[in-house]
């Protein structure tokens, strides 16, 4: 191996190591609500790859990426990417907020993305139902319903994140308030001293 190839290989190893360490740190510090969102996203990814529509003769078969099911997977993957971005990228999210003046929280992106994806999933199920009306051979599998359940679970996880963040805000307010009360009591004791 030449020197340039070894240097490129070394830089690639360092870059992969940094990504692995940052992901390990970010996944290790996710709350229970974040873990619910991650689990629902794994269910969604698993359901998108499996067969959504099939015919009895085997001529028509397709997953969420095919025309037969209405191609909802591309939009759903984009929405899932937004959710992953809001969960895992702390620094980049802050830079985006500074540049664009858009301020959003993790639970807001999870809830809104989940609601939008539920609408897309229902429209895809509607499309499959219309196909079944015209073609009696078409069989709808359970994977679109599993995807829909995953998105509903993501919305529930978003509401759990909202509750956790409100508890954290209340807890910090109480701690700050007790610190202020202690300092005011100490100031009053100092004020009670006589000059002689």
Convert the pLDDT of each residue in 56-107 to its tens digit: 666 667 777 777 777 788 888 898 888 888 877 766 777 777 777 777 777 8
Per-residue confidence (pLDDT) for residue 69, from 0 to 100: 73
Residue 88 neighbours by CB distance under 10 Å:
17
Q: In what order do the strands lie in the sheet with 53-55?
A: 61-62, 53-55, 138-140
Residue 25 neighbours by CB distance under 10 Å:
9
What is the percentage of the chain residues whose pLDDT exceeds 70? 77
Backbone angles phi, psi at 122, to 5 degrees: -65, -40
Confidence band for 115, pLDDT divided at 50, 70 and 90: very high
Q: Where are the beta strands (DSSP E) in 41-162?
A: 53-55, 61-62, 138-140
Q: What is the pLDDT of residues 158-182, one digit of tens each?
A: 898 888 887 776 655 555 555 555 5
Per-residue confidence (pLDDT) for residue 28, from 0 to 100: 61
Distances (CA, A) of 186 to 172, 174, 180: 21, 19, 10
Model-level pTM?
0.68
Q: What is the pLDDT of residues 9-32, one digit of tens each?
A: 888 888 888 777 766 656 666 778
**Nearest CA-CA partner of 143 in 78, 81, 72:** 72
């Amino acid at each position: 191996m030449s020197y340039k190839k070894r240097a490129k290989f070394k830089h690639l190893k360092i870059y992969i190591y940094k990504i692995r360490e940052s992901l390990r740190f970010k996944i290790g510090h996710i709350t229970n609500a974040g873990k619910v969102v991650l689990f629902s996203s794994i269910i969604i990814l698993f359901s998108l790859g499996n067969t959504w529509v099939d015919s009895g003769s085997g001529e028509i078969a397709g997953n969420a990426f095919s025309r037969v099911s209405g191609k909802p997977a591309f939009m759903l993957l984009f929405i899932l990417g937004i959710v992953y971005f809001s969960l895992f990228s702390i620094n980049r999210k802050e830079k985006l907020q500074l540049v664009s003046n858009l301020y959003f929280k993790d639970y807001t992106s999870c809830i809104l993305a989940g609601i939008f994806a539920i609408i897309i999933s229902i429209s895809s199920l509607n499309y499959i139902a219309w196909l079944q009306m015209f073609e009696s051979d078409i069989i709808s599998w359970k994977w679109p319903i599993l995807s829909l359940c995953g998105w509903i679970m993501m919305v529930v996880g978003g509401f759990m994140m909202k509750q956790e963040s409100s508890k954290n805000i209340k807890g910090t307010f109480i701690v700050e308030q007790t610190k202020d009360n202690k300092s005011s009591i100490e100031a009053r004791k100092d004020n009670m001293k006589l000059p002689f």
